[in-house]
Structure 1
Amino acid sequence: MSAAIALRRLMTEYKEITKNPPEGIWAGPPDEDNMFEWECYINGSPGTPLEGGVFPATLKFPKDYPLSPPSMKFTCEMFHPNSMFPSGLSTDKAVYQDGTVCISILHSPGDDPNMYESSSERWSPVQSVEKILLSVMSMLAEPNDESGANIDACKMWRDDRTGYNRKVRNLAREVVGLPALQDSEEELGGNTKLR
């Protein structure tokens, strides 16, 4: 598949995601002269400790897109059971220390050599940028402690949910330039309530 076909597909997806953006997500190329690199912003889901945060990432598309999946990398710090981010903090099915997102939908088509995921969960040309970003948003909102990439975050999520929520809420606030919450602020229902 030629780069021209990939470019055409990316232009179509960009037009669609601009015309009908999914709630809580923005994505597109910062420079329309290079459609193969996009910036993304994912809002923290309401009712989660990430609520109020806006988490930047990049998508890099191969020249044979959509036959091969793009790669995704967060460009901010995160603390999540299923991810590892730039400062060593952690998304499901993982984000590594350099921020690279490792989620089934971004894995190359075919059978998983580790037999962890079915081929139907992996990349196929019918997937899209929108589906990728919605999958990552869902992963961030619903940690999977059975598939942890950040052991410290998994342990804290299981054993000290209030502390975990406080830490994640503070990170979400820092990402948008707000000060951290003070210990005296209330924790209700697992989510931080601001006074």
Structure 2
Amino acid sequence: MTELQSALLLRRQLAELNKNPVEGFSAGLIDDNDLYRWEVLIIGPPDTLYEGGVFKAHLTFPKDYPLRPPKMKFITEIWHPNVDKNGDVFISILHEPGEDKYGYEKPEERWLPIHTVETIMISVISMLADPNGDSPANVDAAKEWREDRNGEFKRKVARCVRKSQETAFE
């Protein structure tokens, strides 16, 4: 996959998302001259603690995309077991392809070149609705999610949702 092919693929995915938006998120380029850096706005999924939130994140694609996955980082503060305290997202489909050296994930759960921005975002929205507490990036959030979901965890998420609404369109 050449850089040109990679750029063309990203341009095609962006055009497709603009033509046929997918419910739950919107995507665009951070800088019109850089196809490898995207900004996404994720709407907190209905019937979850994140409902009503508007969370901004960045996707940074490698030059050999789709052979390797992009990195995803929330810019908006978010309290979630699978998002570390810096905002980096840790979910299976964003992990490098192939065998998991820890034996936790099957190769087919990890990055595959068939994934698109749409499939990544659907996975992230699903992650918001249903965190994976077995493999946390934020151990404190995972502990609260397991032990005090309707107390401290819920309060912290509610604060992030309110803050996201205040800063969504800055």
Fold-level match, TM-score > 0.5?
yes
SS at match of 1:42: strand
User: What is the distance in 1 between the residues matched to 2:25 and 2:147?
Assistant: 31
Distance 1:102 1:154, change over 3 A: closer
CA contact (8 A) 2:13 2:116 kept: yes
2:124 to 136, 140, 163: 136
CA contact (8 A) 1:111 1:119 kept: yes
User: Does 2:38 align with 1:17?
Assistant: no
CA contact (8 A) 1:78 1:84 kept: no
**Higher fraction of helix:** 2
1:107 to 95, 99, 102: 95
Counterpart in 2 of 1:65?
Answer: 65
Structure scoring higher RCO (CA < 8 A, sep ≥ 6) equals 2
SS at match of 2:45: coil
User: How far off its partner does 1:133 sit?
Assistant: 0.8
| Percent of pairs with identical residues | 49
User: What is the distance in 2 between the residues matched to 1:149 and 1:73?
Assistant: 12
Superposition CA RMSD, Å: 1.5
User: What is the distance in 1 between the residues matched to 2:38 and 2:67?
Assistant: 18
Counterpart in 2 of 1:8?
Answer: 8
User: How far off its partner does 1:160 sit?
Assistant: 2.2
Counterpart in 1 of 2:46?
Answer: 46
User: Does 2:119 align with 1:125?
Assistant: no
User: How far off its partner does 1:48 sit?
Assistant: 1.1
Max radius of gyration: which structure? 1
Distance 1:100 1:151, change over 3 A: closer
Q: Which runs of 4 or more aligned residues in structure 1 lie more than 4 Å from their structure 2 counterparts after TM superposition?
A: none
Instruction: Give CA deviations for 1:61-107 in whole Å, capped at 9, x if unaligned.
Output: 1111111111111112111122223xxxxxxxxxxxx2221211111
Number of residues of Structure 1 aligned to a counterpart in Structure 2: 166
Instruction: Give CA deviations for 1:103-159 in whole Å, capped at 9, x if unaligned.
Output: 111112111111110110111111100100110111111122222232322232233
Q: Which amino acid aligns with 1:170?
A: R
TM-score (norm 1): 0.80
User: What is the distance in 2 between the residues matched to 1:83 and 1:31?
Assistant: 25
Gapped runs of 5+ residues in structure 2? none
CA contact (8 A) 2:41 2:55 kept: yes
User: What is the distance in 1 between the residues matched to 2:143 and 2:36?
Assistant: 38
Gapped runs of 5+ residues in structure 1? 86-97, 179-195
SS at match of 2:41: strand
CA contact (8 A) 2:62 2:68 kept: yes
